[in-house]
Each structure stands twice: as structure tokens, then as C-alpha cells.
A and B are shown apart, each in its own frame.
Chain A
């Protein structure tokens, strides 16, 4: 959810940033062994006064970061996409990948002193499986037929085999809470910090949990997060030493910040992508030649340069970036008005006119991107009318309804989730398939890959699916975003930042430290 109250103030910051610098203590340090201590203050851009600590209602980055300060999942994704055990110690699957046994770590206690037991895990998952739950984890728990405690382990029985099920348990909602919890506001979990204070939409404060089960994690004595909507306010707060880190750096001013020696910009290639989605079941996009024409009619390099100020990479009409282990390199589609015209002619749609629906809800700059696309497409003889719609209600009234609209996707944990959610028949049922792509071959590849233990074979299947989406899909994916955090230079990390979300995949509080 994004409901940003933004004011355009391009360039206003220039003066503020130019004159900065001298104020901050000159603490240039090098990445060493993690050190314990300090009060870490984070300015978080994405938050809402409706934030809660109920795992089944997960909206904002503020909430995700706070949840991972307080709680843990069964497994955790490392930077680069490797899934490692968290509250689970190890896991095993049956041959058909339908039965998964997670052995729990021993000696883990919740903040209230209770020991972690398999019943806690069962209870935490059942929260998402209850009748009438609002959980965003529905597509994941829908695969689970049964979950039960077995000695010191938890056994999941899936409806269909899924070799990457452990990866799904890392999802930012499947946090483990003590059995029987109904008052989530206390924030009781097993995490590296305990809750001191949480005011939704304003701030949160946590203190280090001395009994944390992970060695070498959660280095700060305390972590404070402050909700800061305005990008300039975040930058000013960092420059004047009121915070140590903030996320969602404005690409328009990042170069100015980067000049300041006291400030580091952490920029990571992400899984997040920008897209103009064509509904394949609505005219004129039922015809693949029209879709191809639309894809050849966009200048991706210009988009990255002007809309993302160079902080991003080219998209190639399929949703996997190199940040996914399953990524397969395909020839880059280039801007080619002549090819676009050729395909239009083939489709008998010369002089195509179409409307592109847009608002700033999917991403800041979406309107600019649409207008730029209109200019690119005009050279290919396509007339795009940019229809600006209200930011409110965009996902309800425009997305999945209008034949052509702007969208943005955050990363998903693996290729399976990304592809099945947005490019298969399952995704249509779940209400996430924004192009209404329903290709039997892709459906089958994605479903089969789920029960293929051989990684090489599995990656071949994903590669074929990516190729089909690239060639025939309705997603005009023109760029992948770079995720950018700004920190003061004393804030250290191990050099491997997650490309899933900003702030090291929402886990900066437990992975970073002060030099």
C-alpha cells in the first residue's frame, strides 16, 4: 500500500545538500567484525497509521521491519536468494515433495519466557488458514492440506508437491507467535529485540533481547523507527544527524547525497519491476502481434535514464531479474519502431489508438513514465492516450480491469511464487494475474517445476517459461528498480544486501551494526 502525500520539489534539496557534510562526526570506519551496541534510528518511508502487529494483516515496510525485529519465521532468505533455517533447525521432504518435516531449533524462548514448541508453529500457521482471515499469505497456505506437531517437529502435508516449500515459509507474514496469542499488540515473538513502544504511523522502539537464539545477529542495544513520509525530510534528518539510516532514497537527489563523504548509499539490484500490463483477454491485446508492437514501441534505456535517473536496470518483458537464482538471460528486446509497425500491420491494426491508465499509486513517477512511453510509441505509429486516475482506489478500479495500465511488483521469494502468481491460471484465480495470461505450457512448466528436485532441470523449466512470457505475454516490463538506502558511514553491513526489499530485505536491524 502506498498513499503518499507528496509535493514536487525537484531541485529544492540541491542547496540543502550542497552545504551539508561538515556537521556530522568524522567517523569513517571500515567493515570489521560486527560490534555490539548503539541506538540505531531508521527513517522509514512506507508506513500507515493503520499498521498493526497482527501477522495476518501485513501492509507496510514499517510493519515488516518491526515484525522482523520482534519475530522470526521457520526459514530465512539470505542475500542472493539462498534459504537458510531460522526457527527450524533442518527440514526433510518426502519423495513427492508433499510431506515436509521441519525440525525445530532447541532452547529458543519467546520474550515472555515461554519455550518454542511445535504447537506454536501450528497455531501461527492456522491463523492464516482460519475461515475469513485477511492474510496476504493466502496463496501460500492454500497449498497446505494439513499441519501438525510431531514430537519436536512440525509436519506440513501439501495438496501438491512443492520442492521449494521452505522458501515459502520465509514470507513476511508467516511469523511464529506463541500458541494461543490473541493480543498481538504486545509484539511477543522470538526475535532479536523486544517491544518497548509502538505508535502506528509515528514511531516504534525496541530493545535488544539478551536471550536471542542467533549468534552474531541483532547488534544494536536499541532500534527506533520513525515514520517519515517526505523524502526531503528523510534526507535532512540524516544530514543533521537525527537518524542513522533511511530507506527509499529519491533517485532525483541520490547523486547529491552520494557526494557527501559522511553518507553511504546502499544500492542493490532488486527483484522489483515496473510494468505496463496489457490484459490478454481484452481487445486489442488479444493479438500477440499487437502486444509485440507495444513492446517494441518502448525505449527501455530512455525509461531507466529518465524515470529512474539511471538507478535501475533494463527490463525484458519477463519478471525475473538476475536477483533470482532461477534467472535465465534472454536476448534483450530493444526499441524498434519499424518492428512495431511491422507487427501492427500483421495484426491489421495500423494507426492503433489505445488508452493507458495510470496514477502515482503503483510507483512514484508512473505518470511521467506513461507520458514518455506515449512519445516513444508515437514514433511507431501508436497513439497512446494517457489517462490519469486518482491515487485512491487504483488497485480496485483500474488494475485488473482496464486493458492497459501501469503496475509495479516487489520481489517474490522465488521464481515459483512470482510466475504462478502473475502468469498462470492459478494467478487468475488468486486475483494477481494482471495480464490474464493463461498459457497451457507455462501453467504446466510452473506446476511441474514445483515437484522437480533436480535444480538444473527445474531451472530449464523456468527458463522456458520466461521465454514464453517474453515472447507472448502481456507484460511490458521495462525496468527493474534499484533499492536504495542511505546511511551514515558508521553503519556497517557484511557487504551482502538483500535485493528483496529496502533495508536489507527488512532485516537491517538484525544484520547491521555500528563501527
Chain B
């Protein structure tokens, strides 16, 4: 297990460096955008004096480097600062929205992963038959449709016509756990559809790769049932790419769902990020980007570690000549 310890240490170090570079990139990219928080917030009615005093109040009259250092040292002390736009604590602004985003991602993953893997296995079992072509075509269709389109179709059918599920997902006072789940059902299904398609295609492709191996032929010659061949013999050897696509999709569910958030009026991090960029609200943008980047780094790391753990050959690498 020493190998894994070393890999984790190395990757965590690299991850932290990545976060640092990203924080620099985001900070200076925002400096390049036209306008600043003062003009973005005061809008059309801004007078020059109001702008000047607001800039001073926000500390925008200092050089970017000083502002970056102030922000970075705050973050290292565990304080992501105050929003420039409304003076609230960034931690407060992000806290609940982050919870919402993670909840939606978790529900979507819980729906998508089992279905995606199961469909992939079924497609492998029935490769070349009608079922295989149907699922393969449908998966391409769901991947190609933009999310908001799928979302509107689902709303039209399941909320407006049938009245089964709520059309919008905002939280209401006094909600029970079950109501909360029903509330996010449609956005979760919208997101799941694409993820299911990816996972299914990846599972099928990985399995098909393994199915060509001699030991599978051996199993077939022995007379093992096809289901047992796929699930017991092929699947364990195809796990690494499947884990990869599952975790990368999880990352996508956390960082890339702003359109679904807007369509379903779901207060998640994506909407906050878009809002904050348009207000040039640097501390909030930075905090959101740091969270997103950290999610990517962590999930990538997890994917690699799981891939190693799932594969004995990688777990004990051959020693190279010293």
C-alpha cells in the first residue's frame, strides 16, 4: 500500500499547485473583463463620485497584486472574505447553495450510475441485436440534445400535462425530506439522462474490449452462461474506465449545471457564479472556482486511486531495474 500512499501525496501536492495556478488565472482573467464591481453594481445610474467612493470602499483603488495577496492570505486563514456586491460573508452565500448543488448531484448520480452500468451490461449481452441498436441510438440522442431542451420536454410532459412532478425546484418552507426529493426529481432526471448515456456507452465499450480477450473465449468454451461471463469475468477487468467516466460525470454534475439550475429555479452554485461574474464580484467568483477546481482535482485523484485498487496489476507494479 506504500505505492498508493506515495501516489496520493504526490497528487495532493500537484492538486494544491493546480488550485494556486487556477486562483491566479481567475483573478487576472477578471481584471481583463471590461468594467469593475463598482460600475457593474451601480449600473446605468452610476455617477463618477459614487463610482470613486465605491471603488475606495471596496479597495479597488489598490493594485491587483495587493488585492490578490490579501485575498490569498485570507483564504489560507480559512476566511474567503466578503462579497463585494452585498457585503455578506462569502461562506454564508456559498454554504447553502453548495449543499443544494451537492444534493442534486448526489440524487442524479444515484439515479444515473446503476441504470447506466446496467444498460451497458445489457447492451453487451445483446450486442448486435435490436436492443443494442436502440439503446445506442437513444444514448446518442440524449447526449446531443441540449439540456434545457430535455428539461422543457420533461416539464411539459410530467408537470404541465400529467401533474406528477413540480415544474420548478425551489425550496419551500417546512419541506419534508421526501418533498425535497420530489422537488429535485425533474432536474435530476434531466441531468441523469445525459450521464446515463455516457456511462452506458463507456461501460459497453470497456466490456466489448475485454470480451475480445482469450480468457473470455475460454469461459465461453467451458459453457459459462453469458450473464456470468459479462458480470463475473469481464466487468471486474473493465472497471477502471467505468470508474473514470462515473467520477468525471460526477464532477460535471457539480460544476456544469447552471442551465438546469436556471430552468428549474434551483439555487445552486452555478447560478451564483454566473451572477457574480457579471457583477465582477471577485471573492465569490474565486471561492466558487476554487470549489469547482477542488472538486475536479479530488474526483480525478479518487478515480486514479480506485483504478489502481481495482486492478491488482497496477496495485503491485513490476519493479524496474534499479
Is B271 in contact with chain A by the CB < 8 A criterion?
yes
State the 3 A-B residue pairs at the shortest beta-carbon distance, nearest first: A50-B85, A132-B53, A393-B35
* B 186-215 to A, binary, CB cutoff 8 A, 1 in contact else 0: 000000000000000000000000000000
B167 touches A233 (CB 8 A): yes
The contact of B258 among A5, A232, A399, by CB within 8 Å, is A5
10 A–B pairs (Cβ distance < 8 Å), ordered by A: A7-B263, A9-B149, A12-B149, A52-B86, A134-B50, A138-B50, A233-B262, A236-B159, A237-B265, A431-B46
Least Cβ–Cβ distance between A251 and chain B, in angstroms: 19
A205, B173: Cβ atoms closer than 8 Å: yes
Within 8 Å CB of A430, what residues of B?
A: 47
Docked Cα-Cα span, A20 to B45, in Å, equals 41
* Cβ–Cβ contact A48 & B155, under 8 A: no
Residue numbers in B under 8 Å from A226 (CB-CB): 170, 265
Expressed in whole angstroms, the Cα–Cα distance for A395 and B43 within the complex equals 7
Assess whether A392 is in contact with B278, with CB atoms less than 8 Å apart. yes
Asked whether B297 is an interface residue with its Cβ less than 8 Å from the other chain, the reply is no
Contacts of B258 in A (CB 8 A): 5
Secondary structure at chain A's binding surface: helix, strand, loop or mixed?
A: loop
B96 (CB) vs chain A CBs: closest residue: A199
Is A347 in contact with chain B by the CB < 8 A criterion?
no
**B163 within 8 Å of A by Cβ?**
yes
Q: Is B88 an interface residue (CB 8 A)?
A: yes
User: Distance in Å from the Cβ of B110 to the closest Cβ of chain A?
Assistant: 24
Q: Give complex CA distance A203, B169 in Å.
A: 13
Q: State in angstroms the CA–CA spacing of A114 and B148 once bound together.
A: 50
Number of A-B contacts (CB under 8 A): 158
Task: List which A388-446 residues lie within 8 A (CB) of chain B.
Answer: 390, 392-393, 395-397, 399, 430-432
Q: Known: A50-B281, A136-B45. Is A19-B161 also a contact (CB below 8 A)?
A: yes
Kindly list chain B residues whose C-beta atoms are within 8 Å of the C-beta of A332. none
A258 at the interface (CB under 8 A from B): no
A1 with B170: CB separation less than 8 A: no
Q: Which A residues touch B50, using CB under 8 A?
A: 132-135, 138
Q: Is the CB of B43 within 8 A of A59?
A: yes
Which residue of chain A has the shortest Cβ distance to B168 in the bound complex? A237
In the complex, what residue of chain B is closest to A242 when comparing beta carbons? B168
Asked if A52 and B87 sit within 8 Å, CB to CB, the answer is yes
In the complex, A9→B146 CA distance in Å?
11
Q: Are the CB atoms of B274 and A5 closer together than 8 Å?
A: yes
Please, how many angstroms separate the alpha-carbon atoms of A203 and B171 in the complex? 9
Q: Indicate which residue in A12, A23, A57, A392 contacts B33 across the interface (CB closer than 8 Å).
A: A392
How many A residues touch the partner, as a band?
A: 35 or more
A203 vs chain B, min Cβ distance (A): 7
B-side residues, CB < 8 A to A, are 33-35, 39-50, 53-54, 56-57, 83, 85-88, 93, 96, 148-149, 152, 155-156, 159-161, 163, 166-168, 170, 173, 258-259, 262-265, 267, 271-272, 274-276, 278-279, 281, 284
A173 CB, min distance to chain B CBs, angstroms: 10
Instruction: Please tell me if A13 contacts chain B, counting CB pairs below 8 Å.
Output: yes
Q: A136-B45, A200-B88, A202-B170 known; A48 and B279 CB under 8 Å?
A: yes
Instruction: Check B275–A49 contact: CB distance below 8 A.
Output: yes
Say whether B152 contacts A237, CB under 8 Å. Answer: no
Q: Is the CB of B152 within 8 A of A242?
A: no
In the complex with contacts A12-B149, A226-B265, A49-B276 CB distance below 8 A: yes
Contacts A7-B259, A432-B45 aside, 6 further interface pairs with beta carbons under 8 A come to A1-B44, A7-B263, A16-B152, A134-B50, A242-B168, A395-B39
Q: Is the CB of A9 within 8 A of B272?
A: no
Q: Contacts A16-B152, A397-B34 given: A233-B263 contact, CB under 8 Å?
A: yes
Contacting pair B45 A49 (CB below 8 A): no
In Å, the complex CA distance between A397 and B39 comes to: 11
Bound complex: CA A12 to CA B145 (Å): 14
Residue of B nearest to A137 (CB): B45
Given contacts A396-B35, A397-B34, contact A49 B93 (CB under 8 A): yes
A235 CB, nearest partner CB in chain B, Å: 9
Counting CB contacts under 8 A, is A230 at the interface? yes
Report the minimal beta-carbon distance from B153 to chain A, rounded to whole angstroms.
Answer: 8
Chain A residue with Cβ nearest B275: A49
Interchain CB contact (< 8 A) of B155 among A16, A49, A57: A16
Query: Would you call A228 and B265 a contact (CB within 8 A)?
Result: yes
A336 at the interface (CB under 8 A from B): no
A201 CB to nearest B CB, Å: 6
Check: A92 CB closer than 8 A to any chain B CB: no
Contacts of B35 in A (CB 8 A): 392-393, 396-397
